Amino acid sequence: MNDQYLDAFIRESEEAITELNNSLLDLESDPEDTEAMESIFRTAHTLKGNFGAMGFDDASSLAHAIEDLLDEMRDGNMPVTPDVMDLIFAGVDKIEAIVSEIEEHGESGTDVDEIVDDLRTVLEEGVDAAEGAADDADGPDEAPDDTTDTDSSGDGDVAVETNVSPDTADDSIIAAEIDIGDSDMLGVDAMLAIEAVEDYFDVLDAAPQREAVEDGEFSDTFTLYLDAEDTGTVDNTLSGIGKIESAETADVTDALSEKSGSTSDETEHKVDEIKSVRVDVDQLDDLHGLVEQLVTSRIKLRRAVEQDDLDGAGENLNELDKITANLQNTVMDMRLIPLKKVVGKFPRLVRDLSRDLGKEVDFEIEGEDIELDRTILTEISDPLMHILRNSVDHGIEPPEVREEKGKPRTGTVELRASRERDHVIIQVEDDGAGLDVEAIRDKAIEKGVRSPEELEAMDDSSIYDLVFHPGFSTADQVTDTSGRGVGMDVVHDTVTQLDGSVNVESTPGEGTTVSLRLPVTMAIVKVLFVEVGDEEYGIPLKNVDEITRADDRKQVNGKDVIKHNDEIYPIIQLGETFDAPGETANGDGMLVRVRESERQVALHCDSVNSQEEVVVKPLEGILSGTPGLSGTAVLGDGNIVHILDVVTL
């Protein structure tokens, strides 16, 4: 089969499935919505025809059965009931699984006979036959989080906190709960212990996540999931590693095998990597024109160099600089994709979660046409799903509780996106119970995240930010949806790596708003280079408002500040902050005032050198999340420069 046609078929099918899901949701909320019904019927008919034309007969027969059932509903011969809708959604999920298999293997082995029989039975016997049929057909479950339910199995009493598949191990999966004892450098000793374990076994996963463990963010013990023959082999090996004081092991292979059935449907609410972009013909014409100019400029530059015409070469370089700048802007624009490419699947996610939890939720999306870079859009899909799960599970109360509080039975979750210059703000707001400040304080003390004295000095906004700490959760019990203390730390880490920020605001009894601030594009950034001692740093030019000499500063309460438009800007000494080597200009130098929208501070440096566009690489591993640094850039001379993050500095 022609790969070009297959790829086009897959992309079109994915879009059709998303459209079908959302139209079905519209119909479920309003059975009299004839426009939604017509859209559903057209989409199902198109899917059936496409599957048949490509030779995927099983999928075509499933789509045909769904189409026939929808036809009965359209003609008014069958009512729109929750059980019937569950069965139709289960059929759509099966179609989505088939498309995923076709994309991965070129064919599908999914058995559709059972669900086709269920659909045909409902057609013949009526809506009563739909009750429970969706569950029998492996219908939609709730979207699981990154770990399985806390469970104990094996030889020891080790909690299973991973979604790692047994298929990834050559032997068995052994969970080892490791205690490194008292340590002055918890993260460093944990890292050394893990590296020592890796000399003997493959480490498949860790709980908390390995980055958090190596940052010392765990209580007493952490768990490694190892590919090993049995617990005895692991026990004998770990007992000989000096950095490990004690370890408890358990074989969790069977437990994970049992869990794999419940987590195999994770793809139902998974947003796949965006592999195709629709490009406007005008953009292609612009790109073609720029390439023509690039070729012409290259020829002119070569000729000038061959003739030793330095003036001509200089002019050609300036021309080349303009062409490449326009080329960069055109390519960056071509990478921009509307937010609806990702959030289009979220209404179905919220619907399934709310039904599973017995809650009534009205989900609204605003600003789905806002565009973001393809890479950023792909990366934020999982964080947004984590936030939505928390809003539905922890935020929105059960209908009976809402009525007791004088609220409408149906809760509201709203996802809003807006553009602010070169950033996009995405907010997820719910009208649920809000965050409990005292519960967060108690949990922070219990887990040793902060001391009582530190918590006492923190305002509510700072307390809310503690929910991003790895393993932090105030949930009374673990559910399939959330409550294990994972998820929000993933949100924070992902957004930070994208050079963005995340903020939580909450009012007890009224609701919570989680805000993500993300750059529209990434990678190529124009920076201002400043010198501090013997070091050079880059400040993103978008963060800079003004550059002045350092002689304008004053002192307030013993701290250096500058005044601008009657506002006080504290001065951050970059030399002291980064302990820069070499002699720094203490009383002299320059001040770089940061835009007020980013942070109301001024940065003191020895001198300001130049501006330049660079490719920024985010920090990874144990350096990820380092306060004040967003990444590094390699200059033309090969030197590496740190790029500052003015928000966390």
Indicate which residues carry an active-site annotation: 45, 67, 390
Given CA atoms 28, 29, 31, 34 in this order, what sign does their dihedral have? negative
At 28 the three-state DSSP class reads helix
Q: Give every CB contact of residue 453 below 8 A, 6+ residues apart in sequence.
A: none
**Alpha-carbon distance 649 to 645, whole Å?**
6
**Alpha-carbon distance 203 to 391, whole Å?**
33
- Cβ of 418: how many Cβ atoms within 10 Å? 12
Give the type of residue at 561: V
Backbone angles phi, psi at 524, to 5 degrees: -95, 120
**Alpha-carbon distance 156 to 177, whole Å?**
9
Tokens of residue 253, six digits: 């292979």
Best CA proximity match to 531, nearest among 594, 638, 629, 604: 604
**Alpha-carbon distance 528 to 321, whole Å?**
19
**Alpha-carbon distance 302 to 300, whole Å?**
6
Give the type of residue at 431: D
Q: Is 509 in contact with 503 (CB distance < 8 Å)?
A: no
Q: Give every CB contact of residue 128 below 8 A, 6+ residues apart in sequence.
A: none
DSSP state letter for 171: S
Give the type of residue at 284: L
Alpha helices, DSSP H only, in 34-78? 34-53, 57-74
Give Cα 315 distance to the centre of its chain.
45
Q: Strands of 213-352 (E only): list them.
A: 221-228, 246-251, 336-338
DSSP output for 291-319:
HHHHHHHHHHHHHHHHTT-HHHHHHHHHH
**Alpha-carbon distance 66 to 173, whole Å?**
41
Rounded alpha-carbon distances, angstroms, from residue 88 to 80, 137, 505: 11, 11, 38
Q: Is 190 in contact with 198 (CB distance < 8 Å)?
A: no
- Cβ of 299: how many Cβ atoms within 10 Å? 11
Say what the alpha-carbon torsion angle 592, 593, 595, 601 is, to the nearest 10 degrees: 120
Q: Is 591 in contact with 460 (CB distance < 8 Å)?
A: no
Give Cα 36 distance to the centre of its chain.
31
**Alpha-carbon distance 215 to 219, whole Å?**
12
Rounded alpha-carbon distances, angstroms, from residue 470 to 152, 217, 257, 454: 21, 7, 26, 18
